[in-house]
Amino acid sequence: MSSSGVEGRDQNGSSSFSIASENEHRQKTKREGMGNEGDMRTGEEEDEECYSPPERQIVVGICSMTKKSQSKPMTQIMERMCKFQYITVIIFPEEVILNEPVENWPLCDCLISFHSKGTNERFPLDKAVEYAKLRNPLLINDLKMQYYIQDRREVYRILQQEGIDLPRYAVLTRDPDRPEECNLVEGEDQVEVNGEVFPKPFVEKPVCAEDHNVYIYYPTSAGGGSQRLFRKIGSRSSVYSPESSVRKSGSYIYEEFMPTDGTDVKVYTVGPDYAHAEARKSPALDGKVERDSEGKEIRYPVMLSAMEKLVARKVCMAFKQTVCGFDFLRANGHSYVCDVNGFSFVKNSMKYYDDCAKVLGNMVMRELAPQFHIPWSIPLEAEDIPIVPTTSGTMMELRCVIAIIRHGDRTPKQKMKMEVRHPLFFELFEKYGGYKSGKLKLKKPKQLQEVLDIARLLLAELGQHTDCEIEEKKGKLEQLKTVLEM
């Protein structure tokens, strides 16, 4: 197996990582143990004091399907991890993972491994567990917990155990050996699952987390039918169907529909103390994926509340997944976790790539440096100043702009002030309870008509008798009459 680069650093000194096999790794270790024999003339000609053995490197192995291990986010993060002086990254070739026994897999000190579906085959999680048991590397994401993440029933059970809010739900298990767990009564605008009633709209999810065919059923008052969600295909993430009946085969979770503002929030943890959050347009709206000019799905940055940060920490620790993605819905003033995806990276965020590599690198060094007697300590930084390389040298990166903006166009206030002294106005004031609160607002057409009638009456008296005792100015009364007649 040929390598895609020199492990750790390439010939120009820049960071890189490689694809390696077990034989390559053993040959490399053997060469390091023998030293540079090809360059030596005799042992006496070499000054023993000048000889220094190669520095011990901590090998981080990436064990996943090729589509994931060579994706842009993984490449960006691993390149940054290689900038740690004592860290080398190798990628397990997919053909080795699928076809070779675990004894022939490359050796590593730290393993980043996660379940996913490849182009033609699924990742052999059983073999990864066997390899971890054989070599005992530091695990970034626990492997056995990934079995639970593949079953939505187990995901919800663990979330409940941790006291994490999630939508009200019930499980319908269609298993001939457990008929008591399959009690479904379907009505026109509701379903009853094992005694739990869910009025429409409600959500129907397959228990298998790999199945993304989630249906939302609408009540007849909203036109009925269902919205059928699926993994994105082009610019579609769901379609409407006139079918209103639930599926009659397979096992499902039925849960209460949560009314959000039309977005889903996706959270990505890197350890219990780091979480990055983004919002996207909910696929339950119209099924059309919003994309930018480069064809990438539009995401919006999200600030997490203190409670949501605590939820992120709980999810990360409960599922023992250092790198973990999960979804939650903001509804009714609360945040409800609705899905846990396991190993997942943010796409197209250089800031996230920097942070993720830094957190993982420091984690690896903190756990393994003492074991291998590597002189290293976590750098203490008072402030992480965002410095980025540019064509003009290194410059500080502008991370955000906060602005409070008010539009300049506004409708002028249409107000009219008028002093009144005539008893008719005071009678109207008393009639509608103005003396109780000391003020009175008249908005109803009948009330405004009474004010208009008073204005017309006073103007008629002023027209007939110029010496009458009306203290209101004629010009103000005419203005009041004109406004109310508009």
Dist. CA 120–CA 183, nearest whole Å: 37
pLDDT at 95 over 50: yes
Residues 94-110 have a mean pLDDT of 95
**What's residue 469's pLDDT?**
73
Share of the chain above pLDDT 70, in %: 84
Query: What is the token pair recorded at 134?
Result: 């054989």
How confident is the model at residue 394, as a pLDDT? Answer: 66
Q: How far is CA 419 from the centre of its chain?
A: 60
pLDDT confidence band for 434 (50 / 70 / 90): confident
Least confident of 60-69, 225-234, 409-418: 409-418
β-pairing, 275-281 vs 300-301, is: antiparallel
Res 329 pLDDT > 70: yes
Q: Kindly report the three-state secondary structure assignment for every residue of the chain.
A: CCCCCCCEECCCCCEECEECCHHHHHHHHHHHHHCCHHHCCCCCCCCHHHCCCCCCCEEEEEECCHHHHCCHHHHHHHHHHCCCCCEEEEECCHHHHHHCCHHHCCCCCEEEECCCECCCCECCHHHHHHHHHHHCCEECECCCHHHHHCEHHHHHHHHHHCCCCCCCEEEECCCCCCHHHCCEEECCCEEEECCEEEECCEEEEECECCCCCEEEECCHHHCCCEEEEEEEECCEEEEEECCCCCCCCCCEEEEECCCCCCEEEEEEEECCCCEEEEEEECCCCCCECCECCCCCECCEECCCCHHHHHHHHHHHHHCCECEEEEEEEEECCEEEEEEEEECCCCCCCHHHHHHHHHHHHHHHHHHHCCCCCCCCCCCCCCCCCCEEEECCEEEECCCCCCCCCCCCCCCCCCCCCCCCCCHHHHHHHHHCCHHHHCCCCCCCHHHHHHHHHHHHHHHHHHHHCCCCCCCCCHHHHHHHHHHHHC
Encoded tokens for 36: 């540079």
| Residue 6 or residue 318, greater confidence | 318
pLDDT digits (tens, 9 = 90+) for 245-280: 999 999 999 999 999 988 899 999 999 999 999 999
Residue 75 confidence (pLDDT): 95
pLDDT of res. 37: 38
C-alpha triplet 37, 43, 47: angle, nearest 5°: 105
Tell me the pairing of strands 263-270 and 275-281: antiparallel
Q: Which two three-digit tokens encode residue 297? A: 């799905």
Residue 287: pLDDT band with limits 50, 70, 90: confident
On whether the CB atoms of residues 315 and 338 are closer than 8 A, the answer is no
Span of 293-297, 405-409, 422-426 with lowest mean pLDDT: 405-409
Amino acid letter, residue 220: T
Dihedral of CA 278/279/284/287: which sign?
negative
**pLDDT reported for residue 470:** 79
Query: Could you tell me the pLDDT band of residue 386, with boundaries at 50, 70 and 90?
Result: low
Query: What does the pLDDT read at residue 334?
Result: 92
Predicted pLDDT of residue 135 = 96
Among 396-405, 445-454, 469-478, the range of highest mean pLDDT:
445-454
Q: Which residues of 297-328 are buried (b: 16+ CB within 10 A; e: fewer)?
A: bebeebebeeebbebbbbbbebbebbbbbbeb
Q: Average pLDDT of 75-80?
A: 94
Q: For the residues 429-443, what does the mean pLDDT come to?
A: 87
How crowded is residue 394: how many other Cβ atoms within 10 Å of its Cβ?
9
Q: What is the pLDDT of residue 15?
A: 46
Q: Assign 486 a pLDDT band (cuts: 50, 70, 90).
A: confident
pLDDT in tens, 17-53: 666 654 554 444 444 443 433 343 444 444 444 444 5
Look at residue 12 and tell me whether its pLDDT is greater than 90: no
Q: What is the mean pLDDT of the chain?
A: 84
Distance CA(417)–CA(437), nearest Å, equals 20
pLDDT at res. 285? 87
Q: If you compute the radius of gyration of the chain from its CA atoms, what whole number of angstroms results?
A: 35
Which two three-digit tokens encode residue 80?
Answer: 């940054």
Residues 140-159 have a mean pLDDT of 96
Instruction: Write down the pLDDT at residue 355.
Output: 93
Q: What is the pLDDT of residue 483?
A: 86
Instruction: Tell me what pLDDT residue 40 has.
Output: 37
